[in-house]
Chain A
Amino acid sequence: MEREHVLVALVENKPGVMQRISGMFAKRGFNIETITVGPTESQELSRMTLVVKGDERVLEQVQKQLNKLVEVIKVSDVDPNESVIRELCLIKVHTPDQHARAQVVQYAHIFRAHVVDVSPESLMIELTGDSDKINAFIELMRGFGIKELARTGTTAMQRGAKIIEPKK
């Protein structure tokens, strides 16, 4: 069954790793929905989160092909039900009048989003959450007019004691 999978990869913190991974995806025809990368507690490691669409067979191939890359140290398939999955979104909404402004602020409040910038014509909202929450908020904002939108892509961490760490 085709669905979105969240993969976390620990990779060596070396130049070109991102290129190797995106190159592999392009070459194999896999679809990446989002990919994020950042440092970890160790200087030698970066952590990536990839959201990939496909059935079980595609997922298996993606994991195996990732593992084949010399600089990829570990790949984990993260169960969304047992993990915190977050994305950050900045959205600049058209608010030409008092009424629109008040409504947007109210919606932002309901979504636990923050107003982070104000100008005479617009508000900038910062929102974190899973993709569903962010999508829902974006849909709401469309009615007002979205001037600009930036999303970071998904990052994820398993709940509880489980830790994704390099193989020993």
Chain B
Amino acid sequence: MVKMTGGKAILESLKRHGVKVIFGLPGGAILPLYDDIYKDKDIRHILVRHEQVAAHASDGFARASGKPGICMATSGPGATNLTTGIANAYMDSSPVIAFTGQVARPLIGNDAFQETDACGITLPITKHNFKIMKTKEIPQIIKMAFKIATTGRPGPVHIDLPRDVQSEETDFDFEAEPEMPGYKPTIEGHPLQIKRAAEIISEAERPIVLAGGGVIHSNASPELSVFAEMLGSPVTTTFMGKSSFPENHPLALGTIGMHGKKAANKAVTESDVLIAIGCRFSDRSTGNVQYFAQNAKIIHIDIDPAEIGKNIKIFVPIVGDAKRVLKSLIERLKEIYKKGKTTAWVEKINQFKKEFQPKMDYDEIPIKPQRVMKELNSIIDSNTIITTEVGQNQMWAGHFLEVHHPRQFISSGGLGTMGFGFPAAIGAKVARPEATVIDVAGDGSFLMVEQDLATCVLEKIPVIVLILDNRRLGMVSQWQELFYGGRLSATLLGESPDFVKLTEAYGAKAEYVTRPNEIRPALERAIKSNEPYVLDVIVDPKEHVLPMVPPGGRLDQMIG
């Protein structure tokens, strides 16, 4: 058997899982592993300027590619800086594998320099975590980590690596299969439940499909299209499900929820059968649950049994992988489904869609954000990936942008993490270098992570950051204007910094955009440049994201 250091065993195990890129930043407790990274010729390590960026970038990498993303940090502050990114991946079920250095085994528990109980900290924000105490167990633990992160409901796994484990010599045995007697995700839906669901669906006159992020994770978009077309059923998505169904499809309604489409929210409310696939009925999606799809029998397909019945009463639960279950449902329905039942319903839906056309063609200066979305829509193609920050920028993007291909829209849904979009764009661009990657940003969010422009410049990662620059923590100020008497407590950001000068200081390109007709040419220049590029689009700070379901309100009673 080959002898090697723990550090090398880690890299070797990662490579055997197809890993080519690691995002990270070193420190004392992970020095031995970084020495092995230095010697390794096959793995690209991307040095970030803050560990949070490493975690989000690996998350963006995972979401853009469907493969697990890897990030790394030292013990103590390195580990705690990673945690926002890990929590973010956890809330959105993203397969991230995070490594942290730890003080050497004999020092654990002594409050040694830069010691934190990293596993204790990540326990509630990971699908699972490991502290490797026996060097020879490295390959098996990494195998388990990949299996856990990528199968069933995906999610982040954290591995804590004591310093002396990284440097210790060990026999490298990759063959032995680890045992996980308690880990057996259910993949196939139960045939009886599928039969029941098919019967209910075939009776439906006003069906609606609600597709969540799970459809994207399970690569079930082709099946979703077949299913929806077969039924003649309109499709709406949750925010996380955006891009799982082509938004230019005649049956597409766009997103539901607090800042979703009016037509989608109305359609859900009026449906008689709701087929929810790979979603978790978050409060941002459902509004007041008492009134959510109150006329509908709800069929819930999800790979995580704990999601079924957690927030909403379910008529037919189906535990299983979205793709497999959809396939079985399609097979079943082929025999019993009679077309034509939904014609009147689809007509009504089209009526809703016409009635609630959002306005985007504003010519005002300062620029209205809706206009920016219109211009973005004109350049988005199958090779574009949009990431977003958090706040108004995110909700405008979610509401107005039209995306047609899975993994094209990447955003922090569950945790709502400002400073996610830019690092996620970096990760997405690394995963798919041929794609045009645009972060739709707010000025507040971008300032949380802008230091990694340096990473983009030095590592040649040409992402575009389009800042909707309103000099505010816009979404919070919107709530203050709507619900707190307009008292703008701590939400005005003022005139610092100058984003163009800031970007230029990093050696990246930037321009101001102040007029609506400049947006598209500026975007085209940015795309063409093939360099990291910041577009500082000065937008109307008074603009609200509307329509919206007020907190605790009903989906079918949107304001604005």
Contacts and interface: CB of A to CB of B under 8 A. Distances in A.
Interface of A: 11-12, 16, 19-20, 23-24, 27, 57, 60-61, 64-65, 67-74, 166-167
8 shortest interchain CB distances as A-B pairs: A64-B306, A73-B182, A70-B128, A27-B124, A70-B183, A72-B182, A73-B181, A64-B305
B282 to A, nearest CB: 15
Interface in B292-313: 304-306, 309-310
Contacts of A67: 305-306
Contacts of B180: 70
Interface string B120-145: 10011001100000000000000000
Nearest to B313: A57
Nearest to B133: A15
Among B181, B306, B310, max chain A CB count under 10 A is at B181
B306 A70 contact: no
Nearest to A10: B182
A67 B182 CA distance: 8
A64 B280 CA distance: 15
A67 B148 CA distance: 14
A70 B182 contact: yes
A16 B182 CA distance: 15
A57 B123 contact: no
B290 to A, nearest CB: 15
B182 A19 contact: no
A51 B309 CA distance: 22
Interface in B164-196: 180-184
Given A64-B306, A68-B306, A166 B181 contact: yes
Nearest to B185: A68
In this complex, the member of B124, B184, B306 whose beta carbon has the largest number of chain A beta carbons within 10 angstroms is B306
A72 B181 CA distance: 8
A16 B148 CA distance: 18
A101 to B, nearest CB: 47
Contacts of B182: 11-12, 69-74
12 contacts: A11-B182, A12-B181, A61-B306, A64-B305, A67-B305, A67-B306, A68-B305, A69-B182, A70-B127, A70-B148, A70-B183, A73-B182
Contact of B123 (A23, A60, A72, A74): A23
Contact of B120 (A11, A19, A64, A74): A19
A41 to B, nearest CB: 15
A156 to B, nearest CB: 20
B119 interface: yes
Nearest to A75: B182
A64 B183 CA distance: 13
Contacts of B306: 61, 64-65, 67-68
Interface in B93-132: 119-120, 123-124, 127-128
A21 to B, nearest CB: 11
A61 B123 contact: no
Contacts of B183: 70
A60 B309 contact: yes
B312 to A, nearest CB: 11
Contacts of B305: 64, 67-68
B145 to A, nearest CB: 11
A49 to B, nearest CB: 17
Nearest to A71: B182
Nearest to A69: B182
A60 B181 CA distance: 21
Nearest to B183: A70
Given A20-B123, A67-B306, A73-B182, 5 more contacts: A16-B119, A19-B123, A67-B305, A70-B180, A74-B182
A71 B304 CA distance: 16
Contacts of B124: 23-24, 27
A14 to B, nearest CB: 10
Contacts of A61: 306, 309-310
B304 A68 contact: yes
B165 to A, nearest CB: 16
Nearest to B131: A16
Interface in B74-107: none
Contacts of A12: 181-182
A67 B186 CA distance: 12
A69 B127 CA distance: 8
A23 B117 CA distance: 14
A123 B422 CA distance: 69
A74 B183 CA distance: 10
Interface string B12-43: 00000000000000000000000000000000
A127 B256 CA distance: 59
A68 to B, nearest CB: 6
Nearest to A73: B182
A68 B181 CA distance: 12
Contacts of A24: 124
A20 to B, nearest CB: 6
A12 B446 CA distance: 44
A166 B183 CA distance: 12
Contacts of A57: 309
A29 to B, nearest CB: 12
A72 B184 CA distance: 11
A23 B122 CA distance: 11
Nearest to B309: A60
A166 B310 CA distance: 26
Contacts of A166: 181
Contacts of B119: 16
